[in-house]
């Protein structure tokens, strides 16, 4: 519902004046698109790091290496899904992202790119929640491995106390789990880490936000304890 405060921010004008304002904004949108294309090109030009460590992951069908997760593809995208070993359900915000990347997996495979989610929780925690949410993407456990810690999405108490933990490369990490996305490239038997992003860098994956950003009220998260406080698991929203 639009409030008087919202209405006060927006002028009511005739069609010609609106069209002039819209064209002015269009010029900014086109400039932003060009900047985004340039940023994407710079991202592709980043150097990469060869993965020397032997990581081990688990799924219902068995134990897998990082190379196994490519499933024959040249590229691999990993979503670091917040699911602590003690939790019964995954993070609500990560679940919102999962609702968006679930249908994209088939299209990524058409571009030689595999996609998986990885959490620190064991398979016995992942599978019931995945079934409840109706997802089909591949989701593995790093419960017995350092993968989450090495890629900056899990932080232990000793690490946090010593202030060695950094989230998104510059923010002190707190004990527990955090979200993120990492990309990898395979060249024969060699695997390389090419990119990772965290925090607001994940916004682009949330199409609900992209749609809301085109509306008059936008995300209308003002006044909430934190930006995504409104988010629920998709089977927990109250009927309007």
Domains and CATH numbers, the chain: 53-203 (3.40.30.10)
In which band, very low, low, confident or very high, does the pLDDT at 163 lie, cut at 50, 70 and 90?
low
Question: Average of pLDDT values for 122-128?
Answer: 98
Residue 173, pLDDT score: 75
Residues 181-199: tens digit of each pLDDT: 999 999 999 999 999 999 9
> Which residue intervals of 115-187 are DSSP H helices?
123-133, 147-150, 157-161
pLDDT-derived band at 231 (thresholds 50, 70, 90) equals very high
Residue whose entry in the numeric block shows the structure tokens 């950003």: 213
Q: What is the pLDDT of residue 2?
A: 47
Side-by-side strand order, sheet with 75-80: 49-50, 190-198, 180-187, 75-80, 113-119, 138-141, 56-59, 62-65
2-32 pLDDT, tens digit per residue, is 455 555 578 999 999 999 999 999 999 999 9
Helix spans in 45-122 (H): 92-101, 105-109
Average pLDDT, the chain: 93
For 33-40, what is the mean pLDDT?
A: 97
Q: What is the model's pLDDT at position 156?
A: 85
Question: In terms of DSSP bridges, do strands 138-141 and 113-119 run parallel, antiparallel, or are they unpaired?
Answer: parallel
Average pLDDT over residues 151-170: 78
């Amino acid at each position: 519902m639009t409030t008087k405060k919202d209405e006060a921010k927006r002028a009511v004008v005739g069609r010609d004046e609106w069209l002039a304002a819209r064209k002015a904004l269009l010029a900014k949108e086109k400039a932003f698109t060009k900047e985004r294309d340039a940023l994407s090109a710079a991202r592709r030009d980043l150097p990469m790091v060869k993965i020397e460590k032997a990581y081990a992951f688990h799924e219902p069908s068995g134990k897998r290496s990082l190379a196994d997760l490519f499933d024959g593809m040249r590229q691999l995208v990993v979503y670091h899904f917040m699911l602590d070993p003690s939790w019964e359900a995954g993070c609500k915000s990560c679940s919102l992202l999962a609702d968006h990347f679930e249908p994209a997996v088939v299209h990524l495979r058409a571009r030689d790119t595999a996609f998986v989610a990885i959490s620190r929780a064991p398979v016995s925690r992942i599978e019931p929640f995945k079934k409840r949410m109706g997802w089909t993407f591949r989701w593995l456990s790093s419960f017995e491995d350092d993968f989450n810690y090495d890629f900056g999405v899990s932080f232990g108490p000793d690490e946090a106390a010593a202030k060695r933990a950094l989230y998104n490369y510059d923010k002190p990490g707190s004990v527990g789990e955090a979200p993120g996305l990492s990309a990898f490239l395979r060249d024969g038997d060699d695997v390389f880490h090419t990119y990772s992003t965290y925090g607001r860098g994940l916004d682009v994956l949330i199409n609900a936000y992209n749609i809301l950003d085109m509306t008059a009220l936008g995300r209308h998260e003002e006044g909430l304890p934190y930006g995504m406080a409104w988010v629920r698991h998709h089977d927990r929203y109250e009927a309007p």
